[in-house]
């Protein structure tokens, strides 16, 4: 996993090495990690991987009152599929396409918890499609670029402080679909056989929801203060971060490779979450929630050891600081500084098929934070174990 609602699970080998992999084109998943690596693969490949994510998220009220809530344990299944590699006779031109899930979030706190006026449950999903080309100028240097189209969905449910006769709360449900465009570029440089360097930039798209639906429920006495039939349209924008990654791989010998990435993410462009409603009424008004996110620098380290020509083991460690300010953390986007431990295995059948498995364990220290606009405070923790399987076929 990665900071905030980013999902950094786009390759099995890379996931096994704490999501590092910008400098070395291990397989067709380099299309995501560094598009310049496609022309360095030497063959055309088809690749598929799937991940199982089901984090444990908890909240304890501060100051200590004994009140604690464990969010419902929800599962999601990020995936990555690629087809690409060298496509010209001289092996200099590379091309491919990838489909992957780089962002998403899902949490449910329950209908009656104390933070229900901020959120009861939320689900965000984003799938991106990336056609990519690369060119190998020499045995030492290649470049690549991809165009990103993203589409996704959002659903947010929260209570409203409007009381029915039976004591239950009013409610609002916000749901819609969004799209966005972006791009990524990359460089791959191999000055000597032992050293490989990679540099990539991924331009964060802005996901735009233009035809969302907001559905409100309120006591009968307040129905006239709602839009007609309790429903109206809305629009909103979700800016995703610009991400620059610098990576280095050291091929120690024919068996051992060490690698590391520095990942700089510009989360500060996500300044607020704004909802503009088609119809404003006494109870329904356009809203703007300040975010004040910080930019982050993550560190990811990994190692790949070839036991035999067919069998490889991988391990990694990473640190990914949260972009969310301590005074502006809402329970709809719980986050903390993440420590990542990972491992994996790959087995090659003949010269064509590789079967891979990996895991990542992510944990955050207990984080005391406040949502200043609502004065809602508490301590949050996240723990997540993510297993994954993948297959790559060379042609």
pLDDT score recorded for residue 65: 78
pLDDT in tens, 74-127: 899 999 999 999 998 888 999 999 999 999 989 999 999 999 999 999 999 999
b vs e for 215-241, b when ≥16 Cβ sit within 10 Å of the residue's Cβ? bbbbeeeeeeebbeeeebebbbbbbbb
Please state, rounded to an integer, the average pLDDT across all residues of the chain.
94
* Rounded Cα distance, 83 and 228, in Å: 49
pLDDT in tens, 133-171: 999 999 999 999 999 999 999 999 999 999 998 989 999
pLDDT in tens, 319-344: 999 999 999 999 998 999 999 999 99
Exposed, middle or buried, 76 (CB in 10 Å: 0-12/13-18/19+)? middle
Q: Longest C-alpha distance within the chain, in Å?
A: 76
* Rounded Cα distance, 381 and 270, in Å: 23
pLDDT score recorded for residue 259: 98
pLDDT score recorded for residue 197: 98
54 confidence band (pLDDT: 50, 70, 90): very high
Residues in contact with 376: Cβ distance below 8 Å, sequence separation at least 6, in sequence order:
115, 118, 330, 331, 370
Answer yes or no: is pLDDT of 1 > 50: no
According to DSSP, the residues that pair with 338 across neighbouring strands are: 320
Answer yes or no: is pLDDT of 3 > 80: no
Element (H, E) at 353: strand 353-363
Task: List domains and CATH numbers for the chain.
Answer: 12-394 (2.40.160.60)
* Rounded Cα distance, 69 and 59, in Å: 5
- How many beta carbons lie within 10 A of that of residue 145, not counting itself? 17
304 confidence band (pLDDT: 50, 70, 90): very high
pTM here is: 0.92
Top-confidence residue, 223 or 30: 30
* Rounded Cα distance, 357 and 52, in Å: 12
């Amino acid at each position: 996993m990665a900071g905030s609602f980013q999902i950094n699970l786009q390759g099995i080998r890379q996931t096994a090495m704490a999501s590092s992999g910008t400098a070395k084109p291990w397989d067709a998943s380099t299309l995501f990690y560094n598009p310049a690596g496609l022309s360095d693969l030497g063959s055309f490949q088809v690749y598929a991987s799937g991940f199982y994510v089901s984090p444990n998220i908890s909240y304890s009220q501060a100051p200590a009152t004994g009140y604690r809530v464990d969010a419902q344990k929800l599962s999601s299944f990020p995936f990555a599929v690629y087809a690409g590699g060298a496509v010209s006779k001289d092996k200099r031109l590379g091309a491919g396409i990838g489909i992957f899930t780089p962002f998403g979030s899902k949490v449910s706190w329950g209908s009656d918890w104390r933070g229900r006026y901020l959120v009861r449950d939320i689900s965000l999903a984003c799938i991106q499609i990336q056609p990519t080309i690369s060119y190998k100028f020499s045995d030492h240097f290649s470049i690549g670029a991809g165009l990103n189209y993203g589409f996704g969905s959002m659903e947010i449910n929260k209570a409203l402080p409007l009381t029915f006769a039976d004591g239950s709360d009013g409610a609002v449900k916000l749901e819609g679909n969004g799209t966005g465009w972006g791009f990524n570029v990359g460089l791959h440089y191999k000055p000597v056989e032992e050293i490989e360097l990679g540099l990539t930039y991924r331009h964060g798209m802005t996901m735009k929801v233009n035809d969302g639906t907001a559905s409100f429920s309120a006591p009968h006495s307040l129905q006239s203060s709602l839009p007609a039939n309790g429903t109206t349209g809305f629009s909103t924008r979700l800016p995703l971060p610009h991400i620059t990654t610098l990576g280095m791989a050291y091929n120690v010998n024919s068996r051992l490779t060490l690698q590391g990435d520095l990942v700089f993410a510009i989360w500060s462009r996500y300044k607020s979450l704004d909802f503009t409603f088609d119809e404003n009424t006494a109870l329904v008004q356009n809203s703007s929630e300040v975010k004040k996110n910080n930019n982050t620098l993550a560190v990811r380290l990994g190692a790949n050891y070839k036991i035999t020509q067919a069998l490889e083991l991988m391990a990694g460690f990473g640190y990914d600081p949260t972009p969310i300010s301590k005074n502006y953390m809402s329970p709809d986007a719980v986050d903390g500084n993440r420590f990542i431990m990972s491992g994996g295995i790959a087995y090659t059948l003949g010269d064509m098929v590789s079967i891979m498995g990996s895991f990542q364990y992510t944990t955050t220290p207990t984080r005391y934070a406040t949502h200043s606009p609502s004065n809602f405070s508490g301590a949050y923790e996240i723990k997540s174990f993510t297993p994954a399987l993948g297959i790559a076929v060379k042609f």
